[in-house]
Amino acid sequence: MNKQGNTYTILYSAVMVVVVAAILAIASVSLRPLQQENIRVDKMMQILSSVHIASTAHDAVSLYDKYITDSYVVDAAGNTTKADAFGIDVAAEVKRDAAERRLPVFVCTLDNGDVKYILPLYGAGLWGPIWGYISVDADGRTLYGSYFAHQGETPGLGAEIGSAAFQEQFAGKQLFVDGEFKPVAVMKKGQKPLDGADYVDAISGGTITSKGVQSMISDCLLPYESFLKSLDK
């Protein structure tokens, strides 16, 4: 075959495409278990961060097993079901009606015996998804900690939801005001919610992302109202 001809060039290109595609497919399949394990470990690290437990990829599993002493799923009526809370796709659940959602709960027992309840969040920022975890004291009313992350918010602006300065504001905030459930608001500095809800300062210059965090908190925590009230009882 004439190596300078068009036929040879087309055949050579086709063979190379097939070979490269096969190599990439094999690599993807072989690396999938490792990728899934990395995702699982990262999720554990995020959950632990919401209760102020620092972890790394090396110790996250052992710390998670030590401090996360229980997990289950609740519904909007507060009914508890023993199920795989860790495996629930929160991003898919938030698309369903609140009354139909499966709501994961992770129970953390700290070294001093205090119990915290960790609830996952998922929403939309300016450029993409945002998500996180909120931890609540055993009274079901007081926030203990928080963790927020994003896919592509603007560095120095919306991306600051992942900073300690923003997240630390949530500690000690109340979810109930005069017995009425009112998720924590995210307000422009100097402003307060008109309904008397507890609040934190928004990210300066990150208005849309801040509003996304507030909407995420409200939308994701509202279905937990009955469950949180049951903790106080």
Tell me the per-residue pLDDT of 159-168, one tens digit each, with 9 for 90 and over: 999 999 999 9
pTM here is 0.85
Distance CA 95, CA 45 (A): 25
The pLDDT tens digits of the residues spanning 88-143 come to: 999 999 999 999 999 999 999 999 999 999 999 999 999 999 999 999 999 999 99
Count CB neighbours of 218 within 10 A.
Answer: 17
Distance CA 116, CA 192 (A): 28
Q: pLDDT category, 64, cuts 50, 70, 90?
A: very high
State the Rg of the chain over Cα.
Answer: 23
Q: What is the mean pLDDT of the chain?
A: 90
% pLDDT > 70, the chain:
86
Count CB neighbours of 35 within 10 A.
Answer: 10
Burial class for 18, CB neighbours closer than 10 Å (0-12, 13-18, 19+): exposed
% pLDDT > 90, the chain:
74
Phi, psi of 105 (to 5 degrees): -135, 130
